Structure 1
Amino acid sequence: MGRAREIAALESAVDRAAAGRGSAVLVAGDAGVGKSRLLDELAARAAGRGLRVLTGHCVDLGEVGLPYLPFVDLLRPVAAELGEGAAGLFAARARAAESDGADLDAAVRALRPPVDDGRLQLFEAVAGALASLAAQAPVLVLLEDLHWADRSSRDLLRYLLARLADEPVAVVASYRSDDLHRRHPLRPLLAELVRLPGVERLDLGPLPDPAVEELVRGLAAGVDDRTVDDVVARAEGNAFYAEELLAAGLAGETLPWALTDVLLARVEQLSPAAQQVLRGVAVAGRRVRHELLSAVGGLSDGDLERALAEAVHSHLLVVDPDGAYRFRHALLREAVLADLLPGERVRLHAAVAAHLAAVPGAGTAAERAHHLQESNDLPGALMASLEAADEAGRAGAPAERLQHLEAALALWPAVPDAAARAGRSQVELLKQTSAAARRSGELHRAVALLRAAQDVLGPDGDPVMRAKVHYTLAQALARIEDQAAAVSETSAAMALVPADPPSLARTWAAATHARACYEVGRRAEGDAAAEEALASADTLGLDSAWADVAVSLARSHGGEELPARLEEALVRARRSGDPDVEMRVLFNLAIVAYEAGASEETLRWSDVGLARARELGVEWSFYAAELRHLGVVSRYVRGDWDGSLALADRLARMPEMAAHVRAAGLLVQVGRGDPVAAERIAWARGLVGRLDAHVLLLLATAGAEIDHAAWTGDPATAVRAATDADAALRRLWGPERLAVLRLVTTALAPVGDAVAAARLAGDAAAAAEWTAAGEALLALGREAVEDHTRSVGPHGVEAAAWLARMEAEAARLAGRAEPALWAAAVEAFGYGHVYEEARCRWRLAEALVAAGDREAALAPLTAAAATARSLGAAPLLDAVTALARRARLELPGAGRVVDAAAVFTPRETEVLALLARGRTNRQIGRELYISEKTASVHVSNILAKLGASSRTEAVAVAASRGLLPTG
C-alpha cells in the first residue's frame, strides 16, 4: 500500500535482468517502514514472471558473526534442489573445500573457506554459480538486513556486483538507514557501491497517511474513525508501528510493551549522558531548543554537546533547519517517557516549567500548563490553562480552546481558591467551555457541560444565570434533534426572568423559545415570543438577538420577501459580532436558495459562509458544518462532482456531528462506481447506529446505500434502507419527513428492475413479490407528500421533481411504458440536477423503446451518455450503452451494434426467444416441432456462445448485448 513508485523502480531492475543485463538496488529505510513487505511483493511478482528468486537474510549475532551467512542462506535451497549436481556449480571452489567439520553439504560448505587466501576462488565460485543459474532463467537475489552483514559477506557482495554486471542477475539488498551511525562498517561500502554502473539506491520513506489508513482498516474491519486517526497520527508512516498501535488500541493499551522494548533497545546502547539528554528532550516536548536542554539537562556545555552529537549520529534525534532537536519518531519519545521513574519525571517537568516562566517568549501558555500540571503545580496549571484557552480563542482555534478549558475544569476541584484565581465562577467556566464545544462541532459535549452547570447552580441558584443556562442548553438540544427537550428548557428560562423590564436574559430566552416553538408546531406561542423578543431587542440594541428572531420568523412564515428579510438579518448579525447568529443567517440564505432550485445562488452563499467561518475560526460549528454539507450536495446536483468530493474531504479533522458532510460525498463515489464506496457506506452506517438522531447523516447514508443497491442489482437492500429511513424520519421529524420521497423513489428503480427481470423469466411469484414491495414504497412516498402538504404547505421544485420520477417509476413497476411520465421527470429535474436529469433521460429512452419508438429514443439516450461521460458516472454509462445495444441503436462512442444473425443461427434465435419466455426444453421442442434432445443441444450452444452458466443468465446477457429477439 502506498508503494507504487517504489515497486515500479524495483520491477525496472527485474526488467533489466530479464533482458539479460545485471542491475542492483540498495533499499534503505527505517525499521518497520515496510522493506521486507516490499521485497516479498517483488519476489512474488518476479517469480510470477519466471525468474528464479534467491533470498538471503543477515542476522544480528553481535560480535561473533557467521561469515557468508546470507549467501549460505540463499544458496542452500539450490544445493538441496540439485543434490549431487550442486558440486558442478561450485567446481572452482570444490577442490579447495576440504572437510571443515560443518554439518552442511559439500556445495554449501564450499562457501566457508578455512583460510583467507582462498577467498578469490570462493568469490568466483559463487559468481559462477549464480551465472550458471541465470543461464537457465534470470535470477533475482534478495538480501535482507544488510546492516547486520559480516565483513566477509560485505566483501562478497562488492565482488558480485562488479562481476555480474553483464549477467541476467538482479540484486536487491535492504538495510536499516536508522541503524547506520557514523562509524557503521556498511557506510563506506554503500558509498563505493552506488558508484558502480547499474547500482541504484532507493530510499523507502514513511507511508503517506492515506496508505496507513488503508492498512489499518484492512487489518481490522469496522474499526472506528477515532482509533484510525490516532494510529495514523502516531505511526507517522511506519507500517510496523501502525500494526502494533492498532493491536494495542483494540486491547486498550497505551503503548504496547513489545514496541516499547524495540524502541528502547537502541536507546540503551548509548552512553549515560546521551540517555540523560534523551530523557530531557522527551519531557521538554516534541521540538526542543539547545538553550532549554542546557538549562534543564544537568550537564556541562561540553558534555551536553557530546551527548547530543551521539544521539544525533545514532539517528535517535534529528536537527531541524532552525536548530531545534526532535526525536526521529514520535513513538520513540513516548517509549522514553514511559521508561522514566515518577520522581525524575516530576523533577524534569518542574525544571522545564521554571525555564519557560523565567525566559520571555520561551514557550506558550499551553506548554507551561502541561509542565506545571505534570510537576504537580496545580494552581499554576489552572491559570496557565485559562491563559492558553484565551490564546487559542484569539488564534481562531476552538478545538484547542475547548481542550484547555476542559483541562481547567478538571483542575478546578483540586485548587481551593480556583474562583478567586480565575476571576470567574465554575458555572461561568462551564458555559465558556460549552460555547467552545459548540464552535468545535462537539454538540453532545456542549449539552453535557450545560447540564453540569445546572447541577452546580441547583434549584436555588441565581435566576438570571439559571435562565441563561436553560436557553443556551435549548439551543444545543435543538441542534441534536431533541426539540421537545429544547421547548422544556426555553419554557423554564421564560419562567425565571420577568418580561418587564426588558433584559438581555429575557430577550434571548424569548428568542430561543420562539425558535423552539416553531420547530414543534406551536406557532401562536412562537409568534408571541418572537414579537416580545424583537421589541426588547430593539429597545436594548441587541442586534444579535434581533437577527436570530428575524430568521425564525422569516423561515416560519415564508413569503416572497424571505431573502430580503434574511439579508437584513445578516447586516444586523455582522454588526453584533456574534458568529453563531451570523452563521445561522448565512445558512438560511443558502438553504432558501437551495429549496427554490437556485443551486448557483446556493453555492454563492455557501462559499461566502464557509469563507466567513474560516475567518472567524468556527469551521466546524453547527451552521458552518451545515453550509459545508450544502456546498457538497449543491455541487453534486450541479454536476461538479470533483468539487463535491474535494469539499467533503477537505478538512482532516471532523467531529462526529459533522460526519454527514463527508457522507454526502458518497453519492459521487456511488455514481462513479468507485470500488471503495461499499466500504465507506459501511463506515457511515456504523456512525448512524451511534448517532441515532443525526438525521442528515441518516439521509446521506441511506441515499448512498440505496443508490449503490440500485446499481448493483440489490433490491432487497434498497427496500430495507428506504423503509428503515422512513421509520426513523417518522419518529424524529413526523409529518415533515418529505426527504423520504427521494429515498423511496431511488429504491423503486432496482425494485422495478427485479419485477421486469422476473416477468422476462416467466417467474410470476417473484414478479408479484417485488411488485408488492414496490407498491409499499409508493405508499410511503405518497403519504409523506400528503403529510407535508397538510402540515407545512406546498413543496418546492426538488420535491416536485422526485414526485414526477416516483410516478414514472410507478408506471414501470406496473409494466407500463409511459414516455410522457419520464419526459415530465426529465423536465422537472431540468431545474439544475444534472445527474438525475440524465438518469431520467435514460429511462425515457427505455420507455420509448418499449413503446416501439426506437428512433425517438436515440436523442435522450445520447444526451444521457454525454452527461455520464462528463461526470465519470460509469454505472450510468454502462446502463445507457446496454440499452442502446438492446434497442439496436447506434450510440456515438458505444461501439458498433452486433447483429444477432452474426452470433446465432436462425434456429438458435428461435430457441432464445422461447428461453426468454421461460419455456422448458420439452416445451421448446413442441413449439418448434423438434425433439427435446435437439432443443437441449440448441440451448447448450446458446449458453456457450454467451458464456452463461444458466438459462436465466443467458437471457440476461443476451438482453444486455442487444441480442434478444424482439416481437
Structure 2
Amino acid sequence: MSRWDDAPLVGRAEELARLLAQVERAVAGRACATLLAGDAGVGKTRLLDELGRRAAERGLRVLTGHCVDLGDVGLPYLPFVDLLRPLAADPELVPAARSNPVLTGFLAGHPGAVVPVPPPGEGLDLGRPLPHRAAPQPVDDGRLQLFESVAALLCELAAAGPLLVVLEDVHWADRSSRDLLRYLLARLVDEPVAVVVSYRADDLHRRHPLRPLLAELVRLPGVERLDLAPLPDAAVGDLVRGLATGGIPASAVDDVVARAEGNAFYAEELLAARLQGEALPLALTDVLLTRVEQRSPAAQQVLRIAAVAGRRVRHELVAAVGELGSGELEAAFAEAVHHHLLVVSDDGRYRFRHALLREAVLADLLPGERVRLHAAIAAYLAREPDAGTAAERAHHARESNDLAGAFGASLEAAADARRVGAPAEQLQHLEAALALWSAVPDAAERAGRDQAALVLETAGAARTVGELHRAVALLRSALQVLGPDADAGTRARVHYMLAQAMVRVEDEFGAYGESAAAMALVPADPPSEVRTWAAATHARMSYAVGRIEEAEAAVDEALVAADALGLDGAWSDIAVTQLRAKPGADPEWVRARLDEALLRARRSGDLDVEMRALFNLATVAFEAGRIDEALTWTRRGTRRARDLGGDWSYYAAEMRHLQVTALYMTGDWDGSLAEADLLARVPEIAAHVRADGLLVLVGRGDPGARERVDWARGLIPRLQAHILLDLVTAASEIDLAAWHGDAQTALDVAFAACRRLQREWEDDHLGVLRLVGTALAPVADAAATARREGDAGAIERWAEAGEELVAMARSGVEVYRGNYGDTMGVEARAWQARVEAEAARLRGEDAPERWRAAVEAFGFGHVYEEARSRRRLAEALLATGDRAGAAEQARAAHEVAVRLGARPLREAVEALARRGRLDVVGVRAVDVSAVLTPREAEVLRLLALGRTNRQIGAELYISEKTASVHVSNILAKFGASGRTEAVAIAAARGLLAGP
C-alpha cells in the first residue's frame, strides 16, 4: 500500500460530495450509478476508498470488485466474483442465495461451471422484462439465469440495508463482465443500491470495447458520469507536504507540483525520489514507457521526435525531421492520439498528454540519437523561421552542441522577451548567452556589444524581476570584466548601480562604499549624466549610514546638474531621497514634491524611479492614516508594474506589501489574502509579500497559518538580510501563539525579533511596538491566571518578562524620537497606546482609560485592531462595574469579528459576553441550573474563591466528604482535570458571575 492510500484526501471535496449524494439517493431507496473516469494515478482508488469509508459510516454495506489486466485470456466475471466472494463465508447470507446452485458456483469462484437449471416454478423469476427501453432486451444465451441470480442477490442484500457496489478498473473488464454490468444497471431501479464504476480514461482508445458500453450506460436513468480531473496545484502541494513527514524544502515541493501536473501517483513517486531536476524514478519511467512500447515502431518514432521538439510540436516539423511516408506518418499520429499519448491542442499542434511522459521518452533516448534529432530540428527552424521562436532555436542549437548558433539565438530571444515585457524570460536568455560567451570566439561581434555591456544588461533584467542578489553578483562580475583600466565613466556607472542593488538587500555600508567609489571616478565639473546619477545615489547611501552633511552636499549637486542636463529620472530620484530624509517636512510641500517627482519619472521612462515615486506617495498617505488614499496609489503602482512586466521589481514588490497590509487594515481580508497569493512566482527578496497573508490566516484561526509560518521560517536563515520577512513572520507567529495561550513562545519570538531589529536598524526601532503589543497579551493573561491561583512565583516571572518587553518598546520610541523628532505615524502611535494598555493589565490594573485610548488610536482605519482593543476595553469596563459600557464595546467587537471571519476574536468576545452576562447578539448565556444543581452552583462559587473542601463544607454546613463529592461531580460535568481548570471552564461558559 502506498503512502498516498493513508494520506488525507485532498482536492476532491466536490467529487466526493457528488458521490455521497448518490449514496444518499440509494439510502432513500432509489438505485443510481456513477461512471468515474480519470487518468491512471489521478486518485480514483483513493477517492473510492474514502467513499467506501463514509458510506460504511452511513450504514451501507460496501461491496468492492476489481478488474485485472490479464491480456486476451481474461477470466469471465472476475470483478463480480471478487465482489461477491466474501459473501460465501457470511453466515447472514440470504437463504435464497445458498439454495441457488448458480450462485453457489459463482460465490465459490466458478462462474463458468455448468449448473443444473431449476425446474419450472422453482427458484427465481427469470421472466421479468428489463424496466428501461434504453437498455437492450436480454437474449437468453444461457447467461440470463446467472445475470438474474446476481441481480436478485443484490436486491435481497439491499432489502436488509442500503448497498454500495464499487467496480474498479473496468477498462480491463472481460466481455462477460461488461454484459453483466449492462444488465445490472438496467435491472436495478427501485432498490437502495448505489453503483460506482471506475475506469482509466487514458486507456480508452477509439476501438476500446468499453467505449460503446459507456455511451449506452450514460443514457440510462439514474446513471451519471464523473470525470476526475487532475488535482489543482495547491492540492498536490498539500499532498506532498502531508506525505513528507520529515519536512521538505519549499523548492522541492514546487518542483514536484510542477512536474506531477495534478497526478497523485506521479507526485508520490517524484517525492519518494526527492527529485529537483534529476532523472525520473526508475519505477515511474517503467510505468510510463510501458504504454509507449506497446505502440507501433512508426508511432514510437513520432513520439521520440515530439519529445525532443518540446511539449508541443507541429505536424510539419515531425514530417520534415522524421523519415516516414505521409500515409505512415498520419497513421502514427492517429495511433498516438487514439491511445492518449498525444493530444491535439487548440492551435493544431500535438502535445504530450502529460509532461512526465515526454521526460520518460527523452530519458530513453540514446545520447547520439538525441543530439541528432536536436540538430535536425535546429536546422529545420533555421530554414523555417516562422515555424518556431528564437528561444526554441537556441535550445535545439545548444543541445546539438552548436554553441555559436545557440549564443546568437539566445540574444535574439532576450530581445524578443524585452519587447513583449517579459523580463524573467529576458533574464533567462541573457544568462544563457553569458554562459556561452567564452565558448564563442567572435561573441562580441555576434552580440554587437562587449561582455561588460551584456553583463550590465543582464543585471538590469535581474533587478526588474526582483532577483536582487543575482543582480549584485552580476554587477560585481561586470567590474571584474571591465578591470581597473576601463573607461572611468563606465566603471562609475557600474559602481552606483551596484550601490542601488546592495542597499535593497540591506547592505547599507557596502552600498555607501560603492557610491563613494563612483563619485571618486568622475569629476563634478563639467556636469555629466554619470556624475549626476552617482551623486543622486551617493546622497541616498550617505543618508542611510548617517553621513548627513555628505548627503546634503550630494543632493545639492545632483539637483542642479539634473535640471541643467534635463535628467528627469535623476531629479525625481534625488527629490524622493531628500524628502524621505526629512520626516517632519510640511505635508503640502512633500505632496507637491512627490507629484512633481512622479511626473518627471514618467516623462523620463525610468520604471524604477517611477515605482519609487508611487511607493512613496502611498507610504506618505499610509503613515498619515489615509489608508484609502494609500490603496489608490498602490493599485496604480502594481497595475503599472504588471503592464510593464516588472511585478517583482523592488518598489513594485514593496507596493504590493503595502497593499496587502492596507487591505487587511480596512477589513477587506479576502482581498488582502488574494493579493498576497496573487502571483505564483515570488522571488525570495519579495517573500514577505507571501508571508503577509499570515495576517489574515492567523486572524481567522486558519490551520494553514502554521504551515505558512514554517515556510517563512525556512527562508529566513537563507535570507539573513531580509529583516522585513523576519518581522512579518515574527509578528504573525507571536499572534498565533497568543491565540493558543502560549505565552512562552510569544515571549521567545518577540525577544528574538526585537533584538534583531535593534541590532540591524540602529536609528528606527518602531517595529518593536507591534511585536511587544501583541506578545504582551498572552503574558498578561498568564500573569492574571497566576494571580487567580495565588502563584507568587509565576506572577513575578511573567511580570518581569513583560516589563522587559515594555522597556524595549519604550526604548524604541526614544531612539526614534532622538533621530527623527515627534514624527511617528498614526499606526506606530496606536501600537504605543496598545503597549501601555497591556502594561497596565500586566500589573493587574483594569485601566479602562488606557484601553479607550487604544481604541481611539486604532480608529484611523485599522478595523481589526480597533475591535481587539474594544474587547479588552469591555473586559476593563466589566471589571469596574460598567456593564452597559462593556456590553456596547463587546457588541462592536463581536460585529467586526463576525464580519471578518475572525474566529479567535469572535470566540474570545463570546466567552467574555457569557462570563459577564452581556447582551451581545448571537451570544446566549448559559443557565446555570441547566448544568449544575443549586448545591453544585454554590460549591462552584466557593471553588472560584479558592476555598478548600473543608472550607466549603464549613460555609455550606455540610461535611468535608460531601463537599468533595460535589467537587468531583463538577469536575466530571466539565471534563476538567482539576479545580482550577473547572473554574476556568465555568467562567468561559458564563456560569460564574463577574468578569
Structure-1-length-normalised TM-score? 0.96
User: Which residue number corresponds to residue 75 of structure 2?
Assistant: 66
Q: Does residue 575 of the first structure (1) align with residue 603 of the second (2)? A: yes
Q: Is the 8 A contact 2:81 2:107 kept in 1?
A: no
Report Cα offsets for 1:765-815 as digits up to 9, x if no partner: 222221111111111111111111112322222111111111111111111
Distance 1:364 1:947, change over 3 A: same
Q: Is the 8 A contact 2:31 2:192 kept in 1?
A: yes
Separation in structure 2 between the aligned mates of residue 72 and residue 299 of structure 1, nearest angstrom: 47
Match of 2:851 among 809, 813, 822: 822
Q: Does residue 167 of the first structure (1) align with residue 196 of the second (2)? A: no
Q: Is the 8 A contact 2:394 2:405 kept in 1?
A: yes
Q: Does residue 180 of the first structure (1) align with residue 189 of the second (2)? A: no
SS in 2 for 1:335: helix
Q: Report deviation, 1:905.
A: 4.5
Q: Is the 8 A contact 1:613 1:624 kept in 2?
A: yes
Stretch moving more, 317-326 or 944-953: 944-953
Separation in structure 2 between the aligned mates of residue 61 and residue 444 of structure 1, nearest angstrom: 57
Q: Is the 8 A contact 1:75 1:108 kept in 2?
A: no
Separation in structure 2 between the aligned mates of residue 711 and residue 488 of structure 1, nearest angstrom: 46
Q: Does residue 611 of the first structure (1) align with residue 639 of the second (2)? A: yes
User: Which residue number corresponds to residue 763 of structure 1?
Assistant: 791
Stretch moving more, 580-589 or 948-957: 948-957
Distance 1:841 1:363, change over 3 A: same
Q: Is the 8 A contact 1:113 1:122 kept in 2?
A: no
Q: Is the 8 A contact 1:90 1:129 kept in 2?
A: no
User: Which residue number corresponds to residue 124 of structure 2?
Assistant: none
Separation in structure 1 between the aligned mates of residue 493 and residue 942 of structure 2, nearest angstrom: 77
Separation in structure 1 between the aligned mates of residue 178 and residue 842 of structure 2, nearest angstrom: 75
Separation in structure 2 between the aligned mates of residue 348 and residue 899 of structure 1, nearest angstrom: 82
Report Cα offsets for 1:446-491 as digits up to 9, x if no partner: 1111122223233444332222222111111100111111111112
SS in 2 for 1:172: strand
Which amino acid is the alignment partner of residue 798 of structure 1? E
User: Which residue number corresponds to residue 870 of structure 1?
Assistant: 899
User: Which residue number corresponds to residue 535 of structure 1?
Assistant: 560
User: Which residue number corresponds to residue 136 of structure 1?
Assistant: 160
Report Cα offsets for 1:537-586 as digits up to 9, x if no partner: 22322211111111111111230121211111111111111111111111
Report Cα offsets for 1:687-721 as digits up to 9, x if no partner: 22321221221121111111112222111111111
Unpaired segments ≥5 residues, structure 1: 98-105
SS in 1 for 2:279: coil
Q: CA RMSD in A?
A: 2.1
Separation in structure 2 between the aligned mates of residue 166 and residue 909 of structure 1, nearest angstrom: 56
Residues 151-162 of structure 1 correspond to what in structure 2 (within 5 A)?
A: 151-162=175-186
Report Cα offsets for 1:181-217 as digits up to 9, x if no partner: 1221222222222233322222111112222222122
Distance 1:965 1:870, change over 3 A: closer
Q: Is the 8 A contact 2:375 2:396 kept in 1?
A: yes
User: Which residue number corresponds to residue 487 of structure 1?
Assistant: 512
Q: Report deviation, 1:246.
A: 2.3
Q: Does residue 856 of the first structure (1) align with residue 885 of the second (2)? A: yes
User: Which residue number corresponds to residue 126 of structure 2?
Assistant: none
Q: Is the 8 A contact 1:912 1:965 kept in 2?
A: no
SS in 2 for 1:392: helix
Q: Does residue 200 of the first structure (1) align with residue 209 of the second (2)? A: no
Residues 197-276 of structure 1 correspond to what in structure 2 (within 5 A)?
A: 197-220=221-244, 222-250=247-275, 253-276=278-301
SS in 1 for 2:619: helix
Match of 2:54 among 31, 45, 49: 45
Q: Does residue 294 of the first structure (1) align with residue 303 of the second (2)? A: no
Q: Is the 8 A contact 2:676 2:693 kept in 1?
A: yes
Report Cα offsets for 1:862-911 as digits up to 9, x if no partner: 2222222222222212212221222222112323x345455445543342
Q: Does residue 908 of the first structure (1) align with residue 936 of the second (2)? A: yes
Distance 1:899 1:541, change over 3 A: same
Separation in structure 1 between the aligned mates of residue 113 and residue 184 of structure 2, nearest angstrom: 17
Separation in structure 1 between the aligned mates of residue 898 and residue 580 of structure 2, nearest angstrom: 39
Distance 1:863 1:109, change over 3 A: closer
Q: Is the 8 A contact 1:735 1:784 kept in 2?
A: no
Separation in structure 1 between the aligned mates of residue 853 and residue 182 of structure 2, nearest angstrom: 77
Q: Report deviation, 1:736.
A: 0.9
SS in 1 for 2:90: helix
Separation in structure 1 between the aligned mates of residue 860 and residue 15 of structure 2, nearest angstrom: 48
Q: Is the 8 A contact 2:103 2:146 kept in 1?
A: no
Stretch moving more, 317-326 or 157-166: 157-166
User: Which residue number corresponds to residue 423 of structure 2?
Assistant: 398
Separation in structure 2 between the aligned mates of residue 133 and residue 902 of structure 1, nearest angstrom: 46
Q: Report deviation, 1:523.
A: 0.8
Separation in structure 1 between the aligned mates of residue 627 and residue 690 of structure 2, nearest angstrom: 20
Q: Report deviation, 1:304.
A: 1.0
User: Which residue number corresponds to residue 655 of structure 2?
Assistant: 627
User: Which residue number corresponds to residue 719 of structure 1?
Assistant: 747
SS in 2 for 1:142: strand
Separation in structure 1 between the aligned mates of residue 656 and residue 234 of structure 2, nearest angstrom: 22
Distance 1:113 1:164, change over 3 A: farther
Q: Is the 8 A contact 2:427 2:458 kept in 1?
A: yes
Match of 2:842 among 799, 813, 820: 813
Distance 1:383 1:250, change over 3 A: closer
Q: Does residue 463 of the first structure (1) align with residue 491 of the second (2)? A: no
Q: Does residue 282 of the first structure (1) align with residue 307 of the second (2)? A: yes
Q: Is the 8 A contact 1:481 1:694 kept in 2?
A: yes
Separation in structure 2 between the aligned mates of residue 41 and residue 909 of structure 1, nearest angstrom: 46
Distance 1:414 1:633, change over 3 A: same
Q: Does residue 56 of the first structure (1) align with residue 65 of the second (2)? A: yes
Report Cα offsets for 1:258-301 as digits up to 9, x if no partner: 11111111111111111111111112222222222221122121
Distance 1:36 1:901, change over 3 A: closer
Q: Does residue 146 of the first structure (1) align with residue 170 of the second (2)? A: yes
Separation in structure 1 between the aligned mates of residue 97 and residue 834 of structure 2, nearest angstrom: 77
Which amino acid is the alignment partner of residue 886 of structure 1? R
Match of 1:742 among 770, 773, 779: 770
Match of 2:97 among 76, 86, 89: 89
User: Which residue number corresponds to residue 100 of structure 1?
Assistant: none
Separation in structure 2 between the aligned mates of residue 373 and residue 957 of structure 1, nearest angstrom: 70
Separation in structure 2 between the aligned mates of residue 792 and residue 371 of structure 1, nearest angstrom: 59
Q: Does residue 548 of the first structure (1) align with residue 573 of the second (2)? A: yes
Q: Is the 8 A contact 1:752 1:812 kept in 2?
A: yes
Q: Report deviation, 1:432.
A: 1.0
User: Which residue number corresponds to residue 26 of structure 1?
Assistant: 35
Q: Is the 8 A contact 2:103 2:149 kept in 1?
A: no
User: Which residue number corresponds to residue 752 of structure 1?
Assistant: 780
Q: Report deviation, 1:15.
A: 2.0
Separation in structure 2 between the aligned mates of residue 906 and residue 3 of structure 1, nearest angstrom: 51
Residues 666-745 of structure 1 correspond to what in structure 2 (within 5 A)?
A: 666-745=694-773
Q: Is the 8 A contact 1:848 1:857 kept in 2?
A: yes
Structure-2-length-normalised TM-score? 0.93
Match of 2:915 among 868, 883, 886: 886
Separation in structure 1 between the aligned mates of residue 716 and residue 960 of structure 2, nearest angstrom: 56
Which amino acid is the alignment partner of residue 457 of structure 1? L
Q: Report deviation, 1:931.
A: 2.5
Separation in structure 2 between the aligned mates of residue 8 and residue 96 of structure 1, nearest angstrom: 37
Q: Does residue 351 of the first structure (1) align with residue 359 of the second (2)? A: no
Q: Does residue 35 of the first structure (1) align with residue 29 of the second (2)? A: no
Report Cα offsets for 1:828-860 as digits up to 9, x if no partner: 111111111111111111111111221222222
Separation in structure 2 between the aligned mates of residue 842 and residue 472 of structure 1, nearest angstrom: 50
User: Which residue number corresponds to residue 108 of structure 1?
Assistant: 108
Give the aligned length: 957
User: Which residue number corresponds to residue 918 of structure 1?
Assistant: 946
Q: Report deviation, 1:928.
A: 4.4
Report Cα offsets for 1:715-769 as digits up to 9, x if no partner: 1111111111111112211231211111101111111111112212222222222
